[in-house]
């Protein structure tokens, strides 16, 4: 019986020791959790860092969002029609206002223009026809149930305004818009019977001649002939009318270019030609070369009235020529050696 009493006392002592250990661990855990809770409380009380709200009114939405991101602010966006189509995509209002001091993470309410809800005809007089055409397409794409079309062909008349400027319109500015509207324009041809001094092209290289055409805006047409003995190739060897003479501003200047005496393997010399419809006034035309390596090079950028558009070139085989008008691609052509055109024989000149 003595042994039994000893065993019971040992068990009781063992249990008492572990119970005290368990209670100590539980108290320590509670203290640790309490410290964490107190820390979180004080962090929450202190709050986020403060920042100044930037002024983003009048800016494009993308630019405004980047500025808010830098300040650790978040947008809340709503859309609203505005008074002008040019406001589309811009910030009209913001709340809080610019300069307010707020906590980082605050939401900033933005009112963004969705363009203009058209109920009257705008005043397009004095504006460029191509710019107006693009504006009208953009505005009415965002105006369900409304449509405005341009009556073509347009009426043109000579004036002191630059070619392409709208002189008159019908319906008149301020007329009400209800459903579909057909808009008629009278467009400037530019001054009548203006005279220019013909630039000098003879003796210029092809790139120099193209640069002079782009600078002066003269009408032009190129042709090719083989090089003659003693000539340096790829030069303008003849022009009509002659340089320094007086001619009407719409005179087409004929430029004759000779071919290179020798052409390295893999290169092509030729004459790009594209039949353009006649326009009442010159339009922006650009010819670019997309080289086999992926580089894109502008060969010429001009204002062109229409007719056969011709440009001489010397480029690597496999180059793609790209013709664009008003930043819209019209035509592309790949240069292959087998299709290298023979220069025109104009020995009589």
CA–CA separation, 283 and 187 (whole Å) = 13
Burial of residue 320 (number of CB atoms within 10 Å: 0-12, 13-18, 19+): middle
Cβ(157)–Cβ(186) below 8 Å: yes
Which of 190, 218, 243 is the C-terminal boundary of a domain?
Answer: 190
Q: For the chain, how many structural domains are there in total?
A: 3
Same domain, 290 and 264: yes
Query: Is 16 a member of any domain?
Result: no
The pLDDT of residue 300 = 95
Higher pLDDT, 284 or 342: 284
The pLDDT of residue 345 = 39
Same domain, 183 and 211: no
Same domain, 183 and 204: no
The pLDDT of residue 297 = 96
Q: Which two tokens stand for residue 100?
A: 């307010």
14-66 pLDDT per residue, tens: 666 667 777 777 777 777 777 877 666 655 545 558 899 999 998 999 899 99
Structural domain range at position 100: 50-116
CA dist list (Å): 295 to 41, 285, 298: 61, 20, 10
For residue 290, the cross-strand partners are 296, 320
Mean pLDDT of the 284-292 span: 95
Same domain, 109 and 134: no
Task: Assign residue 211 the CATH number of its domain.
Answer: 3.30.10.20
Positive/negative CA dihedral, 224, 226, 232, 237: negative
213-231 pLDDT per residue, tens: 999 889 999 999 999 998 9
Same domain, 181 and 210: no
Same domain, 334 and 275: yes
Which of 190, 217, 232 is the C-terminal boundary of a domain?
Answer: 190
CA–CA separation, 100 and 160 (whole Å) = 52
Q: How confident is the model at residue 347 (pLDDT cuts 50, 70, 90)?
A: very low
Same domain, 61 and 149: no
| β-pair type (180-190, 147-150) | parallel
Task: Assign residue 146 the CATH number of its domain.
Answer: 3.30.10
The pLDDT of residue 153 = 79
Which of 164, 190, 216 is the C-terminal boundary of a domain?
Answer: 190
Same domain, 104 and 168: no
The pLDDT of residue 11 = 60
Same domain, 284 and 151: no
Average model confidence (pLDDT) across the chain: 84
Query: Is 15 a member of any domain?
Result: no
58-96 pLDDT per residue, tens: 899 989 999 999 989 999 999 887 767 677 789 999 999
Same domain, 107 and 204: no
Cβ(293)–Cβ(335) below 8 Å: no
Q: Is the pTM of this model over 0.75?
A: no
Cβ(224)–Cβ(271) below 8 Å: yes
Query: Is 157 a member of any domain?
Result: yes
Query: Is 168 a member of any domain?
Result: yes
The pLDDT of residue 133 = 86
User: Where would I find the beta strands (DSSP E) of 159-282?
Assistant: 166-170, 180-190, 195-197, 219-225, 236-240, 246-248, 252-258, 267-276
164-213 pLDDT per residue, tens: 999 999 988 888 776 678 899 999 988 877 889 999 999 999 999 999 99
The pLDDT of residue 309 = 97
Same domain, 74 and 183: no
């Amino acid at each position: 019986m003595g042994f039994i009493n000893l065993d019971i006392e040992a068990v009781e002592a063992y249990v008492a020791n572990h119970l005290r250990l368990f209670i100590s661990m539980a108290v320590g855990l509670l203290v640790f959790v309490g410290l964490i809770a107190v820390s979180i409380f004080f962090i929450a009380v202190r709050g986020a860092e403060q920042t100044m709200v930037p002024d983003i009114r009048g800016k494009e939405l993308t630019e405004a969002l980047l500025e808010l991101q830098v300040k650790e602010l978040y947008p809340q966006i709503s859309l609203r029609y505005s008074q002008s189509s040019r406001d589309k995509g811009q910030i009209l209002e913001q709340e809080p206002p610019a300069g307010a001091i707020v906590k980082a993470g605050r939401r900033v309410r933005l009112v963004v223009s969705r363009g203009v809800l058209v109920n009257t005809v705008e005043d397009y007089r004095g504006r460029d026809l191509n710019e107006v055409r693009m504006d009208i397409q953009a505005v009415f794409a965002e105006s369900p149930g409304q449509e405005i079309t341009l009556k073509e062909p347009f009426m043109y008349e000579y004036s002191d305004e630059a070619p392409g400027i709208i002189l008159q319109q019908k319906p008149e500015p301020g007329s009400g818009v209800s459903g579909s509207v057909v808009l008629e324009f009278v467009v400037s041809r530019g001054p009548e019977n203006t005279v220019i001094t013909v630039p000098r092209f003879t003796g210029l290289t092809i790139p120099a001649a193209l640069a002079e055409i782009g600078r002066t805006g003269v009408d032009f047409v190129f042709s090719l002939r083989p090089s003659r003995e003693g000539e340096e190739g790829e030069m303008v060897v003849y022009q009509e009318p002659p340089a320094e003479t007086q001619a009407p501003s719409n005179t087409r200047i004929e430029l004759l270019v000779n071919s290179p005496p020798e052409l390295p393997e893999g290169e092509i010399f030729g004459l790009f030609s594209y039949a353009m419809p006649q326009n009442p006034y010159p339009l922006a035309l650009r010819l670019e070369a997309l080289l086999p390596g992926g580089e894109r090079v502008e060969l010429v950028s001009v204002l062109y009235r229409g007719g056969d558009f011709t440009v001489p070139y010397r480029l690597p085989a496999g180059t793609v020529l790209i013709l664009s008008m008003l930043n819209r691609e019209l035509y592309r052509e790949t240069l292959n050696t087998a299709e290298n055109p023979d220069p025109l024989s104009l020995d009589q000149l």
